[in-house]
Structure 1
Amino acid sequence: MAQRSLLTRALWFVVVGWWATPAVVNAAWFLCATVVGAPIGIKLINLIPTVLTLKEPRSLDAHEDSTGQRSLALRALYFVLVGWWLGWIWANVASFLAITIVGLPLAVPMFDRLPYVTSLYRFDG
Structure 2
Amino acid sequence: MRDQPPLLVRAVWFLFVGWWLTGLWLTAAWLLNLTIVGIPLGIALINRVPVVVSLKRRAPPPKERQREPYSLPVRAVWFLCIGWWASGLWTAAAYALTLTVVGIPVAVWMLARLPFVVSLYDY
For residues 82-101 of structure 1, the aligned pairs below 5 Å read: 82-101=82-101
TM-score by length of 1: 0.87
Determine the C-alpha separation between the residues in 2 that align with 1:18 and 1:122: 24
Moved more, 28-37 or 10-19: 28-37
Q: Does 1:77 align with 2:77?
A: yes
Q: Which amino acid aligns with 1:13?
A: F
1:43: how far off? Answer: 0.5
- Contact 1:18 1:52 (8 Å CA) reproduced: yes
Determine the C-alpha separation between the residues in 2 that align with 1:10 and 1:48: 15
1:105: how far off? Answer: 1.1
1:34: how far off? Answer: 1.2
1:57: how far off? Answer: 4.8
Give the structure 1 partner of residue 17 of structure 2.
Answer: 16
Give the structure 2 partner of residue 63 of structure 1.
Answer: none
Secondary structure, counterpart of 2:25 in structure 1: helix
Give the structure 2 partner of residue 62 of structure 1.
Answer: none
1:67: how far off? Answer: 5.2
Determine the C-alpha separation between the residues in 2 that align with 1:50 and 1:92: 18
Secondary structure, counterpart of 2:69 in structure 1: coil
Gaps of 5+ in 2: 61-65
Gaps of 5+ in 1: 60-65
1:37: how far off? Answer: 1.4
- RMSD of Structure 2 on Structure 1 (CA): 1.7
Residues 47 and 58 (structure 1 numbering): CA distance in 2 closer, same or farther, change over 3 Å?
A: farther
1:23: how far off? Answer: 1.1
Give the 4+ runs in structure 1 shifted more than 6 A.
none
Give the structure 1 partner of residue 30 of structure 2.
Answer: 29
Aligned residue pairs, count: 117
Q: Which amino acid aligns with 1:43?
A: A
Secondary structure, counterpart of 2:68 in structure 1: coil
TM-score by length of 2: 0.88
